Structure 1
Amino acid sequence: MPAAALYMDAEIRPNRSLSERGFIILISVITLANCGSALIFMRMQAVFVLLPFLAIDVLAVAVAFMLSFRSGRVIERVQVSPSEVKITYETPKATKVVWESPTAFTRVTTEHDSDRRCTALRLALSGRETAVAAALSPGEREAFAKALEEAIWKARSHRD
């Protein structure tokens, strides 16, 4: 049985402005600055400042960036076929379907702010809604909304 035609198969990957190499450089600079501060505090005989403040702030920055990198590995996939619109979240370990709806009845809705920038993009069906493309900038989200509407329109007019 042949696979159904896809009118859209888009991958949305979150943008991270700091690479993993950049993170290593940043955490090294923070660690060196904290070591310098530690030397000053040790000379002042304020040893109790070292662990609670200096070590914990390096740990907090490292954990925050690790969580950011982990969330950056989540891929949002939007697929439009003649029969359904499907959104999945893919990680290196698993794939989770978060939305499935018949193409014929799925609507694309957008919200705009006072500057006419697209602040939210949603798929809607019978009172249910789900956000789409939240990782994109307002301009990219607007272009994606148009492409998604066009793909749904073409899929609706598909004939076997």
Structure 2
Amino acid sequence: MTEAVRDPVLFDATLRPHRSLGRRGFLLVMAAVAGGGFLIGTGFFLAGAWPVAGFCGLEILLVYIAFKMNFREGRRAEHLRLTPDGLDVTHIAPNGKQGTLRFEPTWLSVQMDDPPRHDSRLTLRSHGKQLEIGAFLQPFEKLEVAEALRAALVRYRETPAF
């Protein structure tokens, strides 16, 4: 018997932080920042205030580092997979390290404010274990995940034992 037949997937979602700036946009922004910094630095250098040129270069470097840190954080992800064996929540850190936590879906509760507020948390609870997921999502996105996961749990509980 194949794995797919033996272990049907009732819910499968990967949550990632939203990043609106792609590689091309990043290059355009950095070109504009570098160009502006170069022009300003050159102007001050020619006016005799040469130390300002160094600070303009430092500002460009700091903007670059901030963008790179932001892009690195964008590699964070959470993968949720509900099967008859349980709900596996896999956290993927920006450095690629992974950790998985398994919940028993029979007693799992999904908690989320409805309507969502800015400080709303999406929390999974079961047998004394508690885990916040999707902390990087917008409140309405957390609510969508909560509703979809609740619907999958209802299907799980209504399905006869495998």
TM-score where L is the length of structure 2: 0.85
Q: CA deviation at 1:106?
A: 1.6
Residues 1:149 and 2:131 are matched in the alignment: no
Alignment partner, residue 99 of structure 2: 97
Quote the offset at 1:32 in angstroms. Answer: 0.6
Deviations 1:77-127 (A, max 9, x none): 111112211111246974512421111122111135xxx325221101233
Structure 1, unmatched stretches of 5+, are none
Structure 1 equivalent of residue 49 of structure 2 = 46
| Kept after mapping to 2: 8 A contact 1:108/1:149 | yes
What residue identity is the alignment partner of 1:66? K
Aligned with 2:41: secondary structure?
Answer: helix
Q: Bigger CA drift: 88-97 or 12-21? A: 88-97
Measure the CA separation in 1 of the matches of 2:58 and 2:129.
Answer: 43
SS in 1 for 2:89: strand
1:62 corresponding residue in structure 2:
64
Quick one: which amino acid aligns to residue 75 of structure 1?
A
- Return the alpha-carbon distance in structure 2 between the equivalents of residues 90 and 78 of structure 1: 11
For residues 30 and 7 of structure 1, do their structure 2 counterparts lie closer, same or farther at Cα, with a shift above 3 Å needed?
same
| Larger strand percent | 1
The equivalent of 1:140 in structure 2 is: 141
The number of residues matched between the two structures is: 156
2: CA distance between counterparts of 1:58 and 1:127?
Answer: 49
With over 3 angstroms needed to count, the CA separation of the structure-2 counterparts of 1:81 and 1:134, relative to structure 1, is: same
2 and 102 in structure 1: CA distance in 2 versus 1, 3 angstrom threshold: farther
Give, in whole Å, the separation in 2 of the partners of 1:109 and 1:155.
Answer: 18
Q: Secondary structure at the match of 2:121?
A: strand
TM-score (norm 1): 0.86
Deviation at 1:12, TM superposition (A): 1.4
* Equivalent residue letter for 2:104: P
Moved over 4 A (4+): none
Residue 90 of structure 2, aligned match among 88, 91, 97: 88
Give the 3 Å change call, closer, same or farther, for CA 2–157 of structure 1 in structure 2.
farther
* Partners of 2:112 and 2:40 in 1: CA distance: 50
Identity %: 26
CA shift, 1:139, in A, is 1.7
SS in 2 for 1:123: strand
Equivalent pair of 1:14/1:75 in contact (CA under 8 Å): yes
